[in-house]
Each structure stands twice: as C-alpha cells, then as structure tokens.
Copies of this chain bind each other. A is one copy, B any other.
Amino acid sequence: MKENKEIPLAGVKEIARRADVSRATVDRVIHNRTGVSEKTRKRILAIIEELDYQPNVLARRLALASRGTVRLGVLLPSASEETEYWKAPLEGMNRAEAEIRQYGVLVSYYFFDQNLQSTFTAQVNRIINDALDGVLIAPIFEKESIQLLNHCKEKGIPCVLMNSDIPGMERLCYIGPELFDSGYLSAQLAHYCLQPGRKAVVVNIARKIKRNVAILEKVEGFQAYFREKDSEELLLSFHTTDTDYDSVASGLSALLEKEPQIGVLYVTNSRVVLVAEWLENIGRKDIILIGYDFLSGNIRFLEKGYIDFLICEKPQEQGYRGIMTLFRHLVFSVTAHEDYLTPIDIVTSANYKFYRN
C-alpha cells in the first residue's frame, strides 16, 4: 500500500522523447550551445518550461568531475593567539570544504598577518598568479583589497567579501554583520541595565582606532541609541592604543576615580577580556560589562560573572556560507544571492552553553 505517486522528476531523456530528438540536442539547448535550428530550439525550450525541468545536481557534478576541479581561494588573517577570532571562520570553511569535496571542489588558504600589510599584498599577488575559479576575502586592508577586486572583475572571477564590507565595489556578495546595528543593540542592553544615576562608557582598545571602520561604526550605533533616548549626557568614552593589560587597567582605574558612577562598560571588540580581568582585580562585579566574540577567554569571564553580555556574529557560519556561496555559484549557477547580514546574537552566562558560533 505504499504511496509511490511521486513524480519521477523528468530528465533530459524525457524531454528528448517528447521533442522527438536525441538527448544530445536537448543538451545543446540547455547549455545554449550552437548547432540547433531555431525551430527545434523553441520546441525544446517550451517542453523544458512545461515540465519545469530541474537538472539533477548529482549527476551533473558527477559528469563534470572528469573535466576538472573547481579551485577556490580564501584570503584571511592567520589565527594567532592575539586574534583567536579567526579560528572560527576557518573552522566553518573547513566544514564546508569537507561537505563539498565530493563535488570536485578544492579550497586553498592564503593567510596573512593582520599587523603587516606586506604579507597581505604578497598573498594578493599569489592569488592573482594562481588563477583561481572563485575567491573569498576578508578585506582588512582596503586599498589592496580593491586592487584584488578589480582584478577579479576583469577576469570574471566571482568574489565574496566577509567580515567587513567595501561599499560600492562590485562583488558577488557580502557576508557579515551590520556593524552600526551591533553597536545600537549593545546600547539598548546597556540602557536596560543602567541603574538611575549611573553612566555608560564606550571603551576602545585597538592599535588604530581612527581608521578602524569596524570600531567607528559600532560606536556610532551605540551613541545613536543614547541620543534617541535623550541620554547622551550619560555617555563617557575611553580610548587606548596600547593593547596590553597594564595600560588598559591603569587607564580605566584613573577614569573610575574621576567618574565613580560608572554602571556600564561597552568594549567595542574582543579585547573585553582585558577589562574583565581588571574588574576581577578591583573586585567590581556590579559594573555591567558588554563586549564581543565567543572566545574561550571571554567565556571564562562570562562564567565568573565579570562579563555580562557578549555580542557575537556567527563567525564560523560566515566562513561556511562564504565557501558555500561560491560553490553554489560556480557549480550550480545559483547566482541570485544578495548580501547575507549575519544575526547579532546576545550571549550571557545563561545561554552560552547552547551557542553555535
């Protein structure tokens, strides 16, 4: 009594039968190759339309496997201790790679040092030289990234940006967060938690702040929220370009002495761990601390109660989707992809156990 009423998903053979031609002719039409008279082409196209023909991706890729391999390249920072962050996207890419290796896809990684522009440039040149079929890049250095994007455009190589966007450039799509909203959301949390009479501090800890788009946009979003709530007078800010613990600690201690009514600290990147350490050392669990990224160090302080909220933007999924987008574009010709703005997740000590990065 099985209900085997399933439609057998008509293939090329069925189309050929109905059009009274051979499969090869249908094939020519599907790939708009030459060698088919206009009359039969029309006829076949009509039948394809009618049957809503969907090529079998398995068979297609299997057949294509003989022809050659699709070669993807990824340009991203190497995951050092300082920037453990980049381990996550890499894991996502590896996961994607494992999934699609069967389809004849090969992924090469081009790592660079975030602090050395020269390493970036060198890898850009290697990528150009290697003549890949698709490229995924984290455009940390804007100028050189634009150069690479232009090269890809010229050669018709699809290119996906991740982590941060370069507005106005031609590319397949951008995969990453909307940074302004990320700051705006943090401000909302801060505002909810702010007890009467207390103030909030925006804390920037980074080598270069003025040029760092990621930080600037977040700060703007944060301030925008307080402005909307007519609470701008509650905002303080603290910047330091020294990223070691001592500089951060002494700077914050000085600030706290001058402004004892601090209730919330918002750190614009994953260096929040330094601030958490400081809070632990001065024994102030009552100050709300908001920061970024699902990293082991941050999680530890989340558990201890010194970090209250971590904002996370699914870096692993960013890597996974980046590869998959290129794959689908190249192998299955699924181009209709707009930008993918990652969710902005709130992680606390109560839900971090279930978080998927």
Instruction: Give the interface of A toward B (CB within 8 A).
Output: 1-4, 6, 9, 56-59, 61-62, 69, 71, 101-103, 106, 108, 129-131, 177-178, 181, 184-185, 188-189, 192-193, 195-196, 225, 288, 308, 341-346, 348-351, 353-356
Contacts and interface: CB of A to CB of B under 8 A. Distances in A.
Contacts of A188: 348-350
Contacts of A345: 343, 345-346, 351
A351 B355 contact: no
29 contacts: A1-B130, A2-B71, A2-B130, A2-B131, A3-B108, A3-B130, A6-B69, A6-B106, A57-B102, A58-B58, A58-B61, A58-B102, A59-B62, A178-B354, A181-B351, A185-B348, A185-B351, A188-B349, A189-B348, A192-B193, A192-B288, A193-B193, A225-B350, A341-B353, A343-B355, A343-B356, A344-B350, A346-B348, A346-B351
Say whether chain A's binding surface is mostly helix, strand, loop, or mixed: mixed
A14 to B, nearest CB: 15
Contacts of A343: 345, 351, 354-356
Max chain B Cβ within 10 angstroms of own Cβ: one of A308, A346, A349, A353:
A346
A205 to B, nearest CB: 23
Most chain B beta carbons < 10 A, residue from A4, A58, A62, A184: A58
Contacts of A355: 343
Contacts of A192: 192-193, 288, 308
A339 to B, nearest CB: 11
A62 B57 CA distance: 10
A53 to B, nearest CB: 13
Contacts of A349: 188
B185 A350 contact: yes
